[in-house]
Amino acid sequence: MELAGDSDAFAVREAESRCSAVELLAPGLATARGVDRPDALAYTRRVCRLIGTCEPDVGTAVALLQAATIERTGTVAVRARDVRGLTGIDTQAIERRLGSVLVDRGFGVDLDEPDWTLVALFSEGVAALGWLETETVRDFSTRKPTDKPFFQPGSMDPMDARALSNIAGAAPGKRILDPMCGTGGILVEAGLSGADVVGVDAQQKMVRGARRNLEAYLDAGSVVRGDATRLPFVDGGFDGAVFDAPYGRQSKIEGESLEELVGEALGEVRRAAPRAVLVGDRPWNDAAEAAGWTVTDRFDRRVHTSLVRYVHLLD
């Protein structure tokens, strides 16, 4: 797997939502088993069926391919990448050398529509060769918050929203809740991952706007006006929940502090779903544990100089 972004630990955690036995191999590279619909992952660029690994130089990669058992036939293209520019390798030279090995083994060359694509990924201390299985859909720029029908400042980037919804369990046949849905960005990405999505917000303005955004990108999904501390759902009605807590501002619920709001919402979400992802501009570990959750991991992700998003994984 070739990973995206600048936090391999976060990318690996998202990959674990669709794979098993994910292990970091080198910066930007990981191995995994049991891959299921990886095209929906945000922080994985491509998935290949591994041929083998070797030292990150041309001669060793050529020797690895020459020694490999290859049962495929037809046309082929070779794609080499210097992952994150860490090796300074000549990718064109690698493609020519590896392509020559495959031609010698009976493959035809088709750079436009090959039957198979051999991918050579070079990173710090290791190279990995594999047959391309999946390239993830990199269309997040088409859903920038400012381009959606309804926008409010502070809306989450769709790539992060997709990753968080995946970690929360978004997938076909799963039901995902966002109890503080705002403009609905997380709901959109969870829905595009195949989940059935439901959002709640205390402000009618946000409810109307989130509905507009869902209608623009999804065929289903619902948003209702409600109180995150008193959710109108049965116990265990969702497979997972993900929400972005208010950042450094007062609750919209009269007379209630932000700490009280988030703490009570965490308790309600625990009643509704067995797992959750909570995002905030501060650590909420104590509040989560007080509500009965176990914080299994936390990622501190810097958005810009004045904002760090604390991502809490709750079980």
- The answer to whether the beta carbons of residues 50 and 69 sit under 8 Å apart is no
Distance CA 133, CA 279 (A): 32
pLDDT of residue 122: 98
Residues 31 and 93 in one domain: yes
Residues 22 and 63 in one domain: yes
How many CA within 13 A on the CB side of residue 61?
A: 30
Residues 116 and 145 in one domain: no
pLDDT band at 253 (very low <50, low <70, confident <90, very high): low
pLDDT of residue 306: 83
Mean pLDDT of 64-93: 97
Distance CA 154, CA 5 (A): 20
Residues 149 and 228 in one domain: yes
- What CATH number is attached to the domain comprising 309? 3.40.50.150
Residues 101 and 125 in one domain: yes
- Check residue 301 and report its DSSP letter: E
94, 109, 135 - which closes a domain: 135
- The answer to whether the beta carbons of residues 68 and 42 sit under 8 Å apart is no
Residues 107 and 239 in one domain: no
pLDDT band at 304 (very low <50, low <70, confident <90, very high): confident
Residues 173 and 212 in one domain: yes
Report which secondary-structure segment, H or E, holds 102.
helix 91-104
The predicted-structure confidence for 207-239, as pLDDT tens digits, reads as follows 999 999 999 999 999 999 999 999 999 999 999
Residues 51 and 88 in one domain: yes
User: 79-97: string of b/e by CB count within 10 Å (b at 16+)?
Assistant: bbbbbbeebebeeeebbeb
Residues 156 and 296 in one domain: yes
The predicted-structure confidence for 189-203, as pLDDT tens digits, reads as follows 999 999 999 999 999
Mean pLDDT of 159-169: 98
- Residue 83 pLDDT greater than 80, yes or no: yes
Q: Which two tokens stand for residue 180?
A: 């503080």
User: Other C-beta atoms within 10 Å of 219: how many?
Assistant: 7
Q: Which residues contact 104 (CB under 8 A, 6 or more apart)?
A: none
Look at residue 246 and give its three-state secondary structure.
coil
| Average predicted confidence (pLDDT) for the chain | 95
- The answer to whether the beta carbons of residues 214 and 187 sit under 8 Å apart is yes
Residues 108 and 39 in one domain: yes
Which range, of 247-251, 286-290, 301-305, 309-313, averages the lowest pLDDT? 247-251
Q: Please give the residue range of the domain that contains residue 291.
A: 140-314
108, 135, 162 - which closes a domain: 135
- The answer to whether the beta carbons of residues 190 and 217 sit under 8 Å apart is no
Distance CA 133, CA 251 (A): 47
Distance CA 28, CA 11 (A): 9
Look at residue 96 and give its three-state secondary structure.
helix
pLDDT of residue 303: 86
Residues 9 and 95 in one domain: yes
- Residue 81 pLDDT greater than 90, yes or no: yes
Q: Which residues contact 173 (CB under 8 A, 6 or more apart)?
A: 194
Mean pLDDT of 70-78: 97
Q: Which two tokens stand for residue 307?
A: 């904002």
- What CATH number is attached to the domain comprising 45? 3.30.2130.30
In this prediction the pTM is 0.94
- Residue 250 pLDDT greater than 50, yes or no: no
* Dihedral sign for Cα atoms in the order 243, 245, 251, 255: positive
Domains identified in the chain, total number: 2
Distance CA 97, CA 110 (A): 16
pLDDT band at 260 (very low <50, low <70, confident <90, very high): very high
Distance from the first to the final alpha carbon of the chain: 26
Angle between helices 185-192 and 204-217 (to 10 degrees): 30
116, 135, 154 - which closes a domain: 135
Residues 152 and 244 in one domain: yes
- Residue 251 pLDDT greater than 70, yes or no: no
